Chains A and B, each alone.
Chain A
Amino acid sequence: MTSEVPFRFERAPGLPGSDAASRVFLGLGRPLTRILWKLEVTGMEHVPAEGPAIICPNHLSFCDSVFVPASLPRRSWAIGKAEYMDSLSTKYLFPALGMIPVDRSGGKKSAAALDAAADVLDAGHLFMIYPEGTRSRDGDLHKGRTGAARLAMRCDAPIIPVGHQGTLDVQPPGQLRMSPFKTVSVNIGAPMRVSDFGRPGDPRVYRTMIDAVMFEIARLSGQTYVNTYAGSKAEAQTEVATLPTPPSQEVAVAPTKPPGRMSRPSPLVDVTAADSAVSG
C-alpha cells in the first residue's frame, strides 16, 4: 500500500488535455488530492509502464472519476458528454482530467464513443471505462456491459479491474462538493487478456470476459454482485465516462415474454454441507 504515486505526464498529441494548462492542473491537482484525502492504493504494479490498457473500476460516486485516475501512475482518458465543453466551470478542467467530449445526440453516438476510446488505446495510452455503464444506486456491483471487452479485442489491450471503497462518503449522490479528510482505498487488479477467454472472432468471448472482470472487481471492492444492469439505459447515457453500448438489435416489434415464464428454475433451497468429494 502506498500513498506516494509516481506519476508520468504522457504527451498525447491529438488527445484532449495535452496543453500546458492541463499539465499545470494535473501537477497541482494530484498532490492536492493526497492532502485533502487519505488515498490508499494497492496493486499499482499491475499498471503497465507503457502501452495501452483499459481501466475498469466500479462506479459509486461522481468523484470516482477523480480518485481512480489519481491512483494510477499514468494519465488516463475517458468519454464525457460534449455538453461539458459548453460550461465554463468544466470546459478546461475535464479535458485536463482526460475527458474526451463525444456528441451523444447523434444516431451513431456509440460508434463514435468506441472510436474515440480506440484512438486512445491505439496511441498506447490508458482508457478508463465504467463497465456497469452508470453509477450503482444501491451500492451493489451490477452486471457489466460488453463494450470494454469489445475494446480489448479491437485494440488488443488488457483490461485492468479496479475496485475502490470510500468515494460514496466523499460525495454521496446529490452532493455537489467533495467532503475532505476521508479515506478512499483503490485496489488495482492484475491485467486480464481477451485471448484467455476464447478464440479470436468468437463473440461469446465478450460476455465471458466481462463477467470475469466483474468477478475480479467484486473481489477488489468487496461489493456484492447482482446480475442486472445498474440504472436504466436512459440514466446510463447521461453519465460521464459511461460505457459506450453497441447498437441495439433491429427488431420491428419486440417479443412479449410468456406470462409466468421463469428464466431458469429457482435455485435449490436445501443447503448442502461441504461435499465429501470436494478437492482443492
Chain B
Amino acid sequence: MDSGEGQAGIGANLASIIEGHPGDAIALIEDDVRITYGELRARVVGWRARLASLGVTRGSRVVLAAGNEVAFVEAALATLGLGAVAAPINPYSPAPEAQRKVASVSPDLVVIGDVAARLREPDTFDVPVLYASSDGVPESAGTEAPGIVDTAPGDVAFLLSTSGVSGAAKIAMLTHQGMGWVQQSLCGDGPQQLRADDTTLAVLPVAHILGLNVALLATLRAGACAVLQRRFDSEQSLALIAEHGITMVIGAPPMWHQWAVGAGADDAMASVRLARSGAAALRPATADRLQTRFGINVVQGYGLTETSSVVTTGRGVDAPATSAGRPLADIALVVVDDDGVPVDVGDVGEVVVRTPGAFAGYLDDPESTAMVLTDDGWLWTGDLGVVDDSGFLHLVDRVKDIVIVSGFNVYPAEVEEVLMEFPGVRAAVVVGRAHGVTGETVVAHIAGEVDTDELDEWMRSQLSTYKCPTAYHLVDEIPTTSAGKALRRELRA
C-alpha cells in the first residue's frame, strides 16, 4: 500500500489511529483517570521520547508486561510510532514464565506496568527494563521525540503469543496493515460498526488478540472511548457498564456466562448496543439467559490470532444462534476435506481463509508458518466447521482434537456438550487414547460429583456407541490455560 492511502489508510503506521480525533473527546478511562485524545497524543509523544532515549528505534522489540491500563496503551502506541515491534505478555505471569516469554522474543527493552507486581523484582530480566505507571509519562531526559515513522505493508507491529493449547506456544507476527484492516472493518457509520460516540468495555486481556485489536485498538481508531478494567470481575464490569453508559461489550464465553448468572443490576446493560462474543463458542443457554436478563442479543464471531482477530461475525445479519456469522467483506472462506478439496455445502471440513488481516508468520519458525500459510495466501486454521446454505459458518472443533474410533471421527466438543448436560458435571474434557481394536477410544475427564455408571448409561442413550467414552476419570479440576481453555495435552498423557 503506498502513501496515497493517507494517514488513516491500511498501510499507515498503527500509531496514527489516535490522530485526527477531537482533542477533547475522552479516549481512555481507568478508575478515576480520564484521558482525552489530545492528552493521549501528547503523552504518547513523551513516551516516544523516553523510549528513543533508551535506544528503541525502527525494528527494535519492546516487551509490554502490562495489562489493561493506560500505560500499556501509551507504551504500545509509542513503540509502534518509532517503527519498533510491541510484544504484549501476560503481566500476571509468574516470573519464570515471563522470563521464558521474554527470552523467546529477545527484546531490546521490557516495559513493566503497574499490574505486573510479580515482575518488579530487580534482575528479573536480563534486558533493560522500564517501570511504567498510569500516573504519568516516564521522564525523557530532554530527548526530543521522533515523529511517527512510515511503515511498509509487511512491517510487523505486534508479536503475540498464540494459546499453545496443543503443541508448543508460537509467536505470531502481526502487521500494521493486517491489524489495521480488521480495525477498519469494524469501524464506520453502519448500525453494527464502532463509532466515535461509542464507549467500549476493555476487559479482555490486551495480550489476547481480541482484547488488543478489537476492544482496545479498534475503539481508538473509531475515536471512541475505552473503559479499562484491569481484571475481570463480573459485578464490577456491570457497574462500569452502567456508570459509563458503555455501548460496546466484548467478552469471551466464560465472561458472558458470569454476566448472565452473577450479581448485579438487571438493567446494567441498558446502554449496550453492541454485544460481542469471541474466542470460543457461546453456549445457546447462556445467550438465552443474557437475552432474558438484559434484553441483549449477543453476536458471535470467529477469529484467530493469526488473522489479527475477526474472520466471521454475526453482526447485522440474522445469524442462527449456533453460528459464528459470515466472513467480513474481502475475506474468502472455504471448507475443505483432508486433500484440500472443497466439501459439499453443509458438510464438515477444515476452515481455510484468505484475509487481508493475515499474519506475517510465526517468529523464527518458518516450518510452522509453512504448515498454516501457503504462498497463494490461504491460511489453514486447524478449525473444523460447516458453512450452511445461507453462508453462515458453524464451528465443530479443532482438527487436532478429533478422536478416530473404528474409522469414525469423534468431535470432542460434541461429546463434552452432552456430558455437561448431566446433573453434577461441572466441567468435562474428552480426549483420545490408543486402543487395540478400535484404533482410538474416547476417554472423558470429569470434574464434578457424579456416578459414572449412571453417567455412562445416560451417554449411551444420547450418542452413537462409538462416541461414548469407554473410561471416565473423575478429577478435582480440569487443567486450563490462563485463557480458560482445557489443556488437552496434559490429559492425553
Which A residues are within 8 Å of any B CB, using their own CB? 145-146, 150, 199, 201-204, 206-208, 211-212, 214-216, 218, 224-228, 245-249, 251-261, 263-265, 267-273, 275, 277-280
| Residue from B345, B399, B457 in contact with A246 in the complex, judged by beta carbons closer than 8 Å | B345
Whether the Cβ atoms of A146 and B347 lie closer than 8 Å is yes
Complex alpha-carbon distance, A248 and B471, angstroms:
40
Complex alpha-carbon distance, A208 and B467, angstroms:
11
The stretch of B191-199, B204-212, B369-377 in contact with A is: B369-377
Complex alpha-carbon distance, A201 and B346, angstroms:
11
Whether the Cβ atoms of A247 and B345 lie closer than 8 Å is yes
Complex alpha-carbon distance, A228 and B343, angstroms:
12
Complex alpha-carbon distance, A245 and B346, angstroms:
10
Closest CB-CB distance, A189 to chain B, in whole Å?
A: 12
Task: Map CB proximity to A onto B328-362 as digits: 1 under 8 Å, 0 otherwise.
Answer: 00001011101111111111101010100000000
Whether the Cβ atoms of A279 and B409 lie closer than 8 Å is no
The stretch of B46-54, B75-83, B400-408 in contact with A is: B400-408
With a CB–CB cut-off of 8 A, which chain A residues contact B334?
Answer: 249, 251, 254-255
Known: A227-B407, A258-B380, A261-B371. 15 other contacts (CB 8 A): A150-B346, A203-B346, A203-B386, A206-B346, A207-B386, A215-B408, A224-B407, A248-B344, A251-B334, A258-B370, A258-B373, A263-B350, A267-B440, A268-B432, A279-B472
Complex alpha-carbon distance, A214 and B341, angstroms:
22
Whether the Cβ atoms of B404 and A251 lie closer than 8 Å is no
Complex alpha-carbon distance, A214 and B434, angstroms:
22
Whether the Cβ atoms of A279 and B336 lie closer than 8 Å is no
With a CB–CB cut-off of 8 A, which chain B residues contact A227?
Answer: 404, 407-409
Cβ of B387 < 8 Å from any Cβ of A? yes
**A215-B465 contact given A227-B409, A258-B380, CB 8 Å threshold:** yes
Cβ of B453 < 8 Å from any Cβ of A? yes
Whether the Cβ atoms of A256 and B376 lie closer than 8 Å is yes
Closest CB-CB distance, A244 to chain B, in whole Å?
A: 10
Complex alpha-carbon distance, A127 and B228, angstroms:
60
Q: Which residue of B lies closest to A224 (CB)?
A: B407
Whether the Cβ atoms of A272 and B406 lie closer than 8 Å is no
Complex alpha-carbon distance, A253 and B432, angstroms:
35
Cβ of B443 < 8 Å from any Cβ of A? yes
| Residue from B352, B402, B470 in contact with A264 in the complex, judged by beta carbons closer than 8 Å | B402
10 sample A-B contacts, Cβ–Cβ < 8 Å, listed by A number: A146-B346, A204-B322, A207-B347, A246-B345, A246-B346, A248-B345, A257-B340, A258-B374, A278-B470, A280-B470
With a CB–CB cut-off of 8 A, which chain A residues contact B432?
Answer: 267-268
Complex alpha-carbon distance, A115 and B65, angstroms:
60
Whether the Cβ atoms of B342 and A204 lie closer than 8 Å is no
Whether the Cβ atoms of B378 and A255 lie closer than 8 Å is yes
B272-292 with Cβ < 8 A to chain A:
284
Q: Which residue of B lies closest to A203 (CB)?
A: B388
With a CB–CB cut-off of 8 A, which chain A residues contact B322?
Answer: 199, 201-202, 204
Interface size on B, residues (CB 8 A): 69
With a CB–CB cut-off of 8 A, which chain A residues contact B345?
Answer: 246-249
Q: Which residue of B lies closest to A277 (CB)?
A: B471
Complex alpha-carbon distance, A248 and B389, angstroms:
11
| Residue from B336, B344, B433, B466 in contact with A255 in the complex, judged by beta carbons closer than 8 Å | B336
Closest CB-CB distance, A216 to chain B, in whole Å?
A: 8
Cβ of B485 < 8 Å from any Cβ of A? no
| Residue from A226, A254, A263, A268 in contact with B433 in the complex, judged by beta carbons closer than 8 Å | A268
Closest CB-CB distance, A125 to chain B, in whole Å?
A: 24
Whether the Cβ atoms of B465 and A202 lie closer than 8 Å is no
Whether the Cβ atoms of A225 and B406 lie closer than 8 Å is yes
With a CB–CB cut-off of 8 A, which chain B residues contact A259?
Answer: 370
Whether the Cβ atoms of B344 and A146 lie closer than 8 Å is yes
Cβ of B439 < 8 Å from any Cβ of A? yes
Whether the Cβ atoms of B436 and A271 lie closer than 8 Å is yes
| Residue from A199, A255, A269 in contact with B376 in the complex, judged by beta carbons closer than 8 Å | A255
With a CB–CB cut-off of 8 A, which chain B residues contact A270?
Answer: 434
Q: Which residue of A lies closest to B409 (CB)?
A: A227
**A211-B408 contact given A204-B386, A249-B342, CB 8 Å threshold:** yes
Whether the Cβ atoms of B408 and A275 lie closer than 8 Å is no
Whether the Cβ atoms of B406 and A275 lie closer than 8 Å is no
With a CB–CB cut-off of 8 A, which chain B residues contact A224?
Answer: 407
Complex alpha-carbon distance, A203 and B406, angstroms:
24
Closest CB-CB distance, B381 to chain A, in whole Å?
A: 11
Cβ of B139 < 8 Å from any Cβ of A? no
With a CB–CB cut-off of 8 A, which chain B residues contact A207?
Answer: 346-348, 386, 396
With a CB–CB cut-off of 8 A, which chain A residues contact B347?
Answer: 145-146, 206-207
Complex alpha-carbon distance, A116 and B479, angstroms:
52
Whether the Cβ atoms of B374 and A204 lie closer than 8 Å is no
Cβ of B231 < 8 Å from any Cβ of A? no
Closest CB-CB distance, B487 to chain A, in whole Å?
A: 16
Closest CB-CB distance, A203 to chain B, in whole Å?
A: 4
| Residue from A145, A247, A256 in contact with B340 in the complex, judged by beta carbons closer than 8 Å | A256
Closest CB-CB distance, B6 to chain A, in whole Å?
A: 30
Closest CB-CB distance, A93 to chain B, in whole Å?
A: 32
**A249-B471 contact given A215-B408, A260-B371, CB 8 Å threshold:** no
Whether the Cβ atoms of A212 and B350 lie closer than 8 Å is no
Whether the Cβ atoms of A258 and B371 lie closer than 8 Å is yes
Closest CB-CB distance, A276 to chain B, in whole Å?
A: 8
Closest CB-CB distance, A201 to chain B, in whole Å?
A: 5
Q: Which residue of A lies closest to B352 (CB)?
A: A255
Complex alpha-carbon distance, A119 and B386, angstroms:
27
Whether the Cβ atoms of B320 and A201 lie closer than 8 Å is yes
Complex alpha-carbon distance, A224 and B408, angstroms:
11
Closest CB-CB distance, B368 to chain A, in whole Å?
A: 10
Residue among A145, A203, A226, A273 facing the most chain B CB atoms (10 A cut-off): A203
Complex alpha-carbon distance, A214 and B408, angstroms:
9
**A225-B408 contact given A207-B347, A254-B334, A277-B473, CB 8 Å threshold:** yes
Whether the Cβ atoms of B388 and A254 lie closer than 8 Å is no
Cβ of B416 < 8 Å from any Cβ of A? no
Whether the Cβ atoms of A254 and B471 lie closer than 8 Å is no
With a CB–CB cut-off of 8 A, which chain B residues contact A269?
Answer: 434
Complex alpha-carbon distance, A277 and B338, angstroms:
34
Residue among A150, A218, A248, A249 facing the most chain B CB atoms (10 A cut-off): A249
Residue among A211, A264, A277 facing the most chain B CB atoms (10 A cut-off): A264
Cβ of B106 < 8 Å from any Cβ of A? no
With a CB–CB cut-off of 8 A, which chain B residues contact A206?
Answer: 346-347, 386
| Residue from A145, A204, A272 in contact with B348 in the complex, judged by beta carbons closer than 8 Å | A204
Closest CB-CB distance, A278 to chain B, in whole Å?
A: 5
Complex alpha-carbon distance, A135 and B210, angstroms:
48
With a CB–CB cut-off of 8 A, which chain A residues contact B350?
Answer: 263
Residue among B388, B402, B464 facing the most chain A CB atoms (10 A cut-off): B464
Q: Which residue of B lies closest to A261 (CB)?
A: B371
